[in-house]
Structure 1
């Protein structure tokens, strides 16, 4: 139980940025300020949080670079999806581009922040990681399918099967209190995707964005949306892992101290 508690506490510390975003969504939903639009205020909160994360050394400059990459990737996807009518940001703001508030990029960046923090806190290493070119090709295929599925066949299930085949031998090793555990990387994708789906329901409840079926009132986001987040998590994880590999920070996978630590 102590191991589980410490694991949860480290996870919570890794979620500082997402928690700040959720709190800002909740507070600005209840408290309305006449001097500044809600989306603009959330953007300011996100920027201040990012600065504080660096100043307090909770994030390194290398991690900030990774987060910026996710911000741009996410913002590009938001611009496209809102243009295609997949969802909308109904409130007015000065910091909106083509109907997309700039704070939306931080929602994607917060996922990167969590992954970078968790990677460092749990001393994550990977076993049987595929070739870099295979990982990059799969990541590109998943990301661009979010764009092409409006015009051609949606390959998400093909991409999921490809992911299982490519990563069927890959495992994640993580350490809690000097004790090392392992988990199939595919399982970690599913778990993170599920919790992001839960977070999405919370975010839409506080009007972070709005799906077409939520115009007349909030409804639970369909469980099918979890598959989209699952694919996005895969892309996010592969980007972080590849950058860690390029930086030479991926160490040889450790041996477990006992078989009982395996999930």
Structure 2
């Protein structure tokens, strides 16, 4: 275990070191930056990667007499404990991730409830509460963990971020709409239009190797949402949960879920942006 921690620490130090290969130009620079970007992304996905590998490897019948959902909960708790013990996440960051877990679990309980049944967890588990396995909240927490890790590895900074109170209102609107659209209509696209106007000038600055690069913050939300949508397709393929149209035979998750995940990423980012050490890297114009 100590050896693994030591290797991770050395890898992080190497990835965050400026110009470890010296000044580069032309094609060589492009290749090195691309490789660094890929490795940093993979490293930032440590929690999510280990968790989803577990989803693939744990048999449907479970392990050691425990149902699959219970085994996944134990694995998720072990990964989270490891992240804190190795100081890959601080206690403040862990508290924010716990909030994602609670927010996600509450949404899961609602979406799987009898009158709604947007999706279902059909397998038995000892750790099911109100029909939802407790491990499910970690799927939302994994998104927060990724953003927190990427923040440090890519030396992220945000320019022209909207005022916090406006961003918080949008985040609340996104979350409430996940519930309310079952009763009063789906206002997702109205909220998305407001978010586009609010974040239109926002830019994320990141450093793959030794030079700052930038992209629209909205594009970052959309790209992360896309990869979560891909992960959702893989998870439903392996039968972790099912949508109503997947009960007879598996089919791809509707492309419309991509927009939902992108909005959820925006909401997650807003929670993380309130962490003290991250606030210092966010520029809000006067």
Match of 2:197 among 158, 165, 175: 165
- Per the normalisation by structure 2, the TM-score is 0.85
How far 1:29 moved relative to its partner?
A: 3.2
What aligned pairs does 1:112-151 form with structure 2 within 5 A after superposition? 112-151=144-183
Q: Would you say 1:199 and 2:231 are equivalent positions?
A: yes
8 A contact 2:159–2:203 mirrored in 1: yes
How far 1:251 moved relative to its partner?
A: 5.3
Distance in 2 separating the partners of 1:243 and 1:166: 21
Distance in 2 separating the partners of 1:93 and 1:33: 12
Instruction: Number of aligned residue pairs: give it.
Output: 252
Query: Deviations along 1:149-200, whole A, 9 cap, x unmatched?
Result: 0000210000111111001111001112221011101110110011110010
* 2:22 aligned residue: none
Distance in 2 separating the partners of 1:167 and 1:64: 27
What aligned pairs does 1:60-209 form with structure 2 within 5 A after superposition? 60-83=90-113, 84-209=116-241
Give the SS at the match of 1:90: coil
8 A contact 1:29–1:206 mirrored in 2: no
* 2:71 aligned residue: 41
Give the SS at the match of 2:274: helix
Query: Deviating runs (4+, > 6 A) in structure 1?
Result: none
The structure with the largest alpha-carbon Rg is: 2
Of the structure 1 ranges 42-51 and 222-231, higher mean CA displacement relative to structure 2 is found in: 222-231
How far 1:248 moved relative to its partner?
A: 4.1
Structure 1 unmatched ranges of 5 or more? 254-263
Distance in 2 separating the partners of 1:161 and 1:129: 16
Decide whether aligned partners of structure 1 residues 252 and 178 sit closer, same or farther in structure 2, where only a CA change above 3 A counts. farther
Structure 2 unmatched ranges of 5 or more? 1-30
